A and B are shown apart, each in its own frame.
Chain A
């Protein structure tokens, strides 16, 4: 079983729409969670960390559900510039501080 699983999409949404991605992780001992964004032919860049109580950064909201072992990312009022692949990342210090990446969810925001 993969450490991190994501729906690869693609998600095609109109400008202004709200879109949500989920990601599940297999190791209940995982401690740190992140969302990264990767543009075509570029390196992944940190979008936001995910905190236990949930957190918001502008139009982006991240949530963690430890009981069900999933994290989510909500994007409100989608912009064309939000088009990218969104990677879910889980860190587990118990496995030597390894970071586990999902394969990514592709988002295209359409004019």
Chain B
């Protein structure tokens, strides 16, 4: 079946612009996670949605970052006033309960 889908695959933008990244989880998965990964580094947790519960935003690095999950399915991660240090691969994962997470291919974000 279809896996986790992320778009765009690549995004290049100028410093100061806003960007929106999209994640379409596996159908039926109640949990959705956003991570980012800089080159050669480990995964950095950003935010987690579980069903209708309030999201766990504890990993968001600044108030320029926000995320929504509409209708318990698709999620968008928004970065406002992008900075060069925001350049990274942004990974989305979904899971059902405590079953393993499945990751999308990621969005490679480059801030010029």
A contacts, CB < 8 Å to B: 31-32, 34, 41-46, 49, 87, 89, 91, 93, 96-99, 101-104
Contact = CB atoms under 8 A, between A and B. Distances in A.
B98 A91 contact: yes
A32 B98 contact: yes
A43 B31 contact: no
Looking at chain B, what size class is its interface with the partner chain?
Answer: 20 to 34
25 contacts: A32-B98, A34-B100, A41-B89, A43-B103, A43-B104, A43-B105, A44-B91, A44-B103, A45-B103, A46-B100, A49-B100, A87-B43, A89-B101, A96-B48, A96-B50, A96-B53, A97-B95, A98-B48, A99-B33, A99-B93, A99-B95, A99-B101, A101-B35, A101-B45, A103-B41
Given A97-B31, A97-B50, A104 B91 contact: no
Nearest to B55: A96
Contact of A98 (B43, B56, B103): B56
B25 interface: no
Interface of B: 31, 33, 35, 41-43, 45, 48, 50, 53, 56, 89, 91, 93, 95, 97-98, 100-106
B43 A44 contact: yes
Given A43-B91, A96-B50, A101 B42 contact: yes
Nearest first, the 3 closest Cβ-Cβ pairs linking A and B are A103-B42, A43-B103, A101-B43
A93 to B, nearest CB: 6
Contacts of B41: 103
Given A98-B45, A99-B101, 7 more contacts: A41-B89, A43-B91, A44-B103, A46-B102, A91-B98, A97-B95, A101-B42
A44 B91 CA distance: 9
